[in-house]
Structure 1
Amino acid sequence: MSSALPPDDFERRLIIATQAGLPLVPRPYDVLAEQLGVDAALVKTRLAAMLQGGRIRRIGAVPNHYALGYTANGMSVWDVDDARIGELGEAVGHLDFVTHCYERPRALPDWPYNLFAMVHGRDRDTVLAHVEEIATLLGAACRARDVLFSSAILKKTGLRIGGDG
């Protein structure tokens, strides 16, 4: 849960400096420190505190799967027994070919699915083979499933704040 206090001036400048991504260099915190006029240790400490405090959710790479040759992207959706969704979702999320996995509420009667797992592959057959592996893992706890393939590349960005106040 995030803190109720607004970010201080340094946090705000740090957020603005990083919201489009870290610099793609061997020592990105050094570059940020130079931009902000501080020591790299302070950048690291404050980012860690912002993560711990819930002000930011994560620091991580966001690969462009298409540029890497993974052009078949399938969101597999599953109707999984609610009593086992935590355990099974965790297992699915640990599979090497699943990039993210999460629980969502059903929208009955039209949408019975409560577990979502994104699978990337170089072709649809590969994605479908991975979906079969997930089905085997879920076993009898899975009542229904489907795969929704991407039809377009969408620009992914999070919330942005302006630099002028």
Structure 2
Amino acid sequence: MSVETKISDREIIAALQGGLPIVAAPYAEVAGKLGMSEADLVARIAAMKDSGAIRRIAAAPNHYKLGMVANGMTVWDVEDAQVAELGAQIGALPFVTHCYERPRARDQGWPYNLFAMVHGDTPDEVEAKRAEIAAILGDACHGHDILYSKRILKKTGLRLRKRG
């Protein structure tokens, strides 16, 4: 049995959870620290993604430091039969950083089921982008709002706790 087969998925996730190193070959560096080849590390990450054990590896930029200081989570009350199709269109817009469907909470006064994060340099820019989304949603949208962020609340992904 090779050393590489002894590395668990949990160990790989733990090695990646703090972020990739800012070097020319980040996966090679992580693989070296784990005692495996870069190709095997990349294959194991792909297998975990394919199995659903992990969803993605992504950059988490600080949009405030990038100059995007007007940031709004747009929320939409979209026809359930059309939310998946329309959500895919909204998520593909170049100014939407993430877009997802969530269950409504009508009993709590929350009718929205589609969320799309929009960033801009000014509130007017964000409002113009929101209007563009509204035009795409058209008659399938029955209401919307925008929640402007004041600060970054979370910029981390999965964090594993050490076992016992």
Tell me, yes or no, if the aligned pair for 2:7 and 2:34 is still in contact at 8 Å: no
- Spell out the pairing of 1:1-165 with structure 2 (5 A cutoff): 9-109=7-107, 110-163=109-162
CA distance in 2 between partners of 1:89 and 1:15 (Å): 30
CA distance in 2 between partners of 1:157 and 1:74 (Å): 19
Q: What's the CA shift string for 1:17-40, capped at 9, x where partnerless?
A: 101111111211110122112211
- Mark the runs of 5 or more structure 2 residues left unpaired by the alignment: 1-5
Following superposition, the deviation at residue 116 of structure 1 comes to: 0.8
Cα 1:9–1:38, aligned 2, differ >3 Å: closer, same or farther?
Answer: closer
CA distance in 1 between partners of 2:31 and 2:79 (Å): 49
Tell me, yes or no, if the aligned pair for 1:22 and 1:28 is still in contact at 8 Å: yes
CA distance in 1 between partners of 2:68 and 2:48 (Å): 33
Tell me, yes or no, if the aligned pair for 2:74 and 2:116 is still in contact at 8 Å: yes
Percent of counterpart pairs with the same letter?
A: 56
- Mark the runs of 5 or more structure 1 residues left unpaired by the alignment: 1-7
Tell me, yes or no, if the aligned pair for 1:17 and 1:32 is still in contact at 8 Å: yes
CA distance in 1 between partners of 2:161 and 2:129 (Å): 41
CA distance in 1 between partners of 2:158 and 2:41 (Å): 21
Cα 1:163–1:35, aligned 2, differ >3 Å: closer, same or farther?
Answer: farther
What is the RMSD of the two structures over their aligned residues, measured on CA atoms? 1.6
Q: Aligned with 2:72: secondary structure?
A: strand
Following superposition, the deviation at residue 129 of structure 1 comes to: 0.5
CA distance in 1 between partners of 2:114 and 2:9 (Å): 35
Tell me, yes or no, if the aligned pair for 1:72 and 1:122 is still in contact at 8 Å: yes
CA distance in 2 between partners of 1:124 and 1:141 (Å): 25
Q: Aligned with 1:101: secondary structure?
A: strand
Q: Which amino acid aligns with 1:129?
A: A
CA distance in 2 between partners of 1:82 and 1:54 (Å): 25
Q: Which amino acid aligns with 1:24?
A: I
Tell me, yes or no, if the aligned pair for 1:16 and 1:163 is still in contact at 8 Å: no
Counting matched residue pairs gives 158
Tell me, yes or no, if the aligned pair for 1:13 and 1:163 is still in contact at 8 Å: no
Following superposition, the deviation at residue 106 of structure 1 comes to: 1.4
